[in-house]
Amino acid sequence: MLDHIRFNPDTSDFTPIFNQIEAKHPDTITTGISHVGVQPTVQWHDQQVPIPMTGQSSQATTTSFRKDTNGATEGVITASAAAPGGAITPKTVPFIDSYQKHNGGVSPAYDGFTSYDLVYIIADAIHRNQGSPDPDKMVDALEKTDYVGTIGRWQFYGKNDQFTHALKYGEGYITGINLQWQNGKQVAIWPKSVATAKVKFPAFVKVQAASN
């Protein structure tokens, strides 16, 4: 990492920040932005910053981001929970299709997938408790969760594990995905098991060749 740049959420001009970044010649800009993703993305595109924009851009996880940025999304990569066409489980694509049908063609953001799955996980725990939402019984039931949702297999660590009640990640569980905006659409580019396209950047982005 060459630098770590924090900025005020009210920033309206990212030109000085992009100039600072370009001067250091990094291989990539690794973002960590949530509700302020529109303006930096628009300026990255309009100013043709020649460095790939990757990382986490929460607004870029929903298909409405293209309209919000007037099409400046091309080439942007972000981590997410799922992407249109990426069949993480048999439930992924049907959920996206149904969501788009009821929301004017817009796909859910990353938290839309987790929220959808968690409703079923909680309902399943209550069902296994014979309808009781008692907090102590719910903890016991949720510890026994083994549910395949839209983003993978959900299981939690136990109360005595190192990561108490945290979500299990990794092969066989939930991994998340990377998606990229290509030709005005979101496509899955990682992991290979769900990828629907290869990484492709607009012409103004100059990708550094890997050294041996």
Confidence (pTM): 0.87
User: Which pLDDT belongs to residue 114?
Assistant: 95
Q: H/E element holding 187?
A: strand 185-190
Could you tell me the domains of the chain? 12-87+176-212 (3.40.50.2300), 89-174 (3.40.50.2300)
Supply 172's token pair: 């066989």
Rounded CA separation 24/2 (Å): 7
30 — pLDDT class (breaks 50, 70, 90): very high
Which CA distances in Å does 136 have to 23, 155, 160, 206? 56, 18, 15, 55
Sequence-distant (6+) residues with CB within 8 A of 87 are 93, 194
80-120 pLDDT per residue, tens: 999 998 999 999 999 999 999 999 988 999 999 999 999 99
> Is there a contact between 145 and 111 (Cβ–Cβ < 8 Å)?
no
142-172 pLDDT per residue, tens: 999 999 999 999 999 998 999 999 999 988 8
> Is there a contact between 110 and 147 (Cβ–Cβ < 8 Å)?
no
66 — pLDDT class (breaks 50, 70, 90): very high
8 — pLDDT class (breaks 50, 70, 90): confident
Say if residue 211's pLDDT is above 70.
Answer: no
User: Which pLDDT belongs to residue 171?
Assistant: 83
Say if residue 123's pLDDT is above 80.
Answer: yes
Strand ranges (DSSP E) for 115-184?
Answer: 147-148, 153-154, 177-182
Supply 178's token pair: 């990377």
Rounded CA separation 17/7 (Å): 9
Rounded CA separation 134/46 (Å): 54
Is 147 in a helix, a strand, or coil? strand
Say if residue 210's pLDDT is above 60.
Answer: no
* Cα R_g (the chain), whole angstroms: 20
- What are φ and ψ of residue 167, in 5° steps? -75, 140
Pairing, β 185-190 against β 177-182: antiparallel
User: Which pLDDT belongs to residue 9?
Assistant: 84
**Residue corresponding to tokens 């997410």:** 80
Beta-carbon neighbour count of residue 12 at 10 Å? 7
124-138 pLDDT per residue, tens: 999 999 888 889 999
Taking alpha carbons only, the member of 47, 46, 51, 48 closest to residue 5 is 51
